[in-house]
A and B are shown apart, each in its own frame.
Chain A
Amino acid sequence: MSIAAKFEIEYLQYLDAEGQQVRDALPEFAKNLEHMVELYKLMISTRVFDAKSVAMQRTGKLGTYASCLGHEAAHVGIGSAMKPEDVLALSYREYGAQLYRGVQPREVYMYWGGDERGNDYQNEPARHDFAWSVPIGTQCLHAAGSALAFKIRNEPRVAVCCIGDGGSSKGDFYGAINIAGAQNLPLVAVIVNNQWAISVPRKIQSGAPTLAQKGLAAGLYCIQVDGNDIIAVRKAMEDALERARSGQGGSVIEAVTYRLSDHTTADDARRYRDEAEVKEAWAKEPVKRLRAWLVAKGVWDDAREEAWKAECDEWMDNEVNAYLQTRSQPVTAMFDYTYAEVPADLAKQRDYALSLESK
């Protein structure tokens, strides 16, 4: 038998569920414990932020909200590996990556609170990132297009897209990795496989044993990592970003994690999945293992944890207040950004809508 091509998919993990180091050689960034503490702190603040968001939805202060509970290592790992000049195109729950890149919690609240200004991120580098993409998978092609722009202009920048296990079934995802392979684009596609696309489990999305291997068909570098292990996510991201930046092409990273929350606040996951499965997933969640590792290294303890959580609470309360005090946009806002200039015909509708305001 002759073989036309042969492939394998590496699986990467540094920390197991208990926070035990399963590989001896740590990547450079992980040797900097101060930095690892910073990443841990952001995972905590992401979780505090997320709990606050869900609570606000439950009390009628937010619309439907998509929680990121359980994804903290994957998202912070993605965001922290990127350079400021890179571009992030995400779906709608990657807050850990976004907070790292300067998105303010009040902006997230505004978006899910029904105000487009939440997409107008004020801080760099998030300011040049894409806004949340609700139509599943479509953002992958925006990242591919951005990567093409970087290649055309010969800029050492990388476009990163995040997608879920369900999203990796979409043609937009396949199209993005396909053109990235064909044109050798600086694209890193991260499949954050949280096992559930609303009520549909991972095994119904694809017969492939890994989702990472989808990238093989496109000619990309592929790896599967423990998505609850931030060291593994960050390392895979750094490698993929470096490859892309140095002209060696795109990558697909599958970060295997678990959606500990409902799909959104409008969903009730108890309808379709076993409590036992969720309980098992909680045992592998990302925050606990990193804490155990940092505590063992002597750079973290309960007192610091309590102090930081208190700081996060204060931060989020501040953000919540800022959000709640934001006045609605004037009715004219819906007209004013539809085109660069309001066309004459649309201006008449704008005038009419405005006239209703004074009645």
Chain B
Amino acid sequence: MAQITLIEAVTQALAYEMAHDDSVVVLGEDVGVNGGVFRATVGLQEKFGPLRVLDTPLDETTIAGVTVGLATQGMKPVAEAQFEGFIYPMMEQIACHAARMRTRTRGRLTVPAVFRAPWGGGIRAPEHHSEANEHLFTNIPGLRVVLPSSPARAYGLLLAAIRDPDPVVFFEPKRIYRQYKEEVPDDGEALPLDVCFVLRDGTDVTLVTWGAQVKECLEAADALAEEGISAEVIDVATLTPLDFDTIAESVTKTGRCVIVHEAPKTAGFGAEIAARLAEECLYELLAPVERVTGYDVHIPLFRLEMKYLPSVQRVVDAAKRTLAVS
């Protein structure tokens, strides 16, 4: 069985679902002959033709609005925003229509669509190519916000997202697109949405994260283990609807929580998790909740971006601070 990267897992999931469901179509800028600027759709147009793998005019609003139209007519469109930083023109169509169609028509019309976008920083990209703005979407009801953090989860969650009857925003952490390979059987098996994945069991502190920061958190857990500290690592994976029970269960066990994300701190999704912990788990906490996040600034151009992104050391330091409170 072939070992594949996260980006190859995205391609594999798209190819599988397109081969098994004629209603699945892919649309976006450069997704056709070029196979996407990150090669997520490579080879798909050859297999499925120029209408099912459609190079659109260069207009994100068009991509999003056409996606809504396709989805209401029985298609399952997978739209690509070339970069997260270019997704803003899509937001009206996503918020006012994709996420709202079912409820405003009492279920008469629905939008089973996926909006994919390469997400986050750390690849020395030009300006507007490194944004993490998942929190702008988590406050939109009717939407699912999903972030895979490994090749297997990219494959399984993307299949689930395409099959889901409601719209899903699927943010792919491009920093780990080609970071490592793992075996991902092309068996069409989806992973569940709306659940967190506990990636590492621990007893002293819970590290809650998603997307590319899963890597930093797992490395931080290794480093903490060397010092005799046992960290549990949770990949939230589906931010909304949130599986808070898994987080609560873990924090009830460890009594300590560090939330890690690369979006800015204030009103980032970490704030929601911290608030929920305060509401529902305050008496289980042995220390204040820590957040390790991007700063409240625009992600800097790439000479400084690694100083903006949460580092392993910052996560380790935060975990230790929670343990310093007895």
Contact = CB atoms under 8 A, between A and B. Distances in A.
A116 B105 contact: yes
A59 B140 CA distance: 35
B241 A343 contact: yes
A130 B104 CA distance: 11
A146 B71 CA distance: 8
Nearest to A89: B69
Contact of A119 (B65, B92, B105): B105
Contacts of B57: 175, 178-179, 182
Contact of B194 (A145, A147, A337, A344): A344
Contacts of A146: 69-70, 72-73
B70 A119 contact: no
A147 B97 CA distance: 17
B104 A175 contact: no
B69 A141 contact: yes
Given A127-B108, A172-B65, A345 B244 contact: yes
Contacts of A150: 73
B93 interface: yes
B203 interface: no
B61 interface: yes
A241 interface: no
A141 B61 contact: yes
A141 B68 contact: yes
Interface string B58-72: 010110111111111
B80 interface: no
A346 B241 contact: yes
Nearest to A341: B165
Q: At the interface, is chain A mostly helix, strand, loop or mixed?
A: helix
Interface residues of A, number: 45
Nearest to B144: A339
Contacts of B67: 145
A142 B69 contact: yes
B303 interface: no
A171 B107 CA distance: 28
Interface in A24-70: none
Given A140-B65, A179-B66, A343-B241, A145 B72 contact: yes
A117 interface: yes
A87 B73 contact: yes
Interface in B186-216: 194
Contacts of A183: 54
B51 interface: yes
Given A120-B108, A345-B241, A152 B52 contact: yes
B117 to A, nearest CB: 18
A58 B182 CA distance: 67
A135 B65 CA distance: 12
Given A117-B106, A149-B75, A339 B166 contact: yes
Contacts of B69: 89, 141-149, 159
Contacts of B70: 145-146, 148-149
Interface of B: 25, 51-52, 54, 56-57, 59, 61-62, 64-75, 77, 89, 92-93, 96-97, 102-110, 141-142, 164-166, 194, 241-245
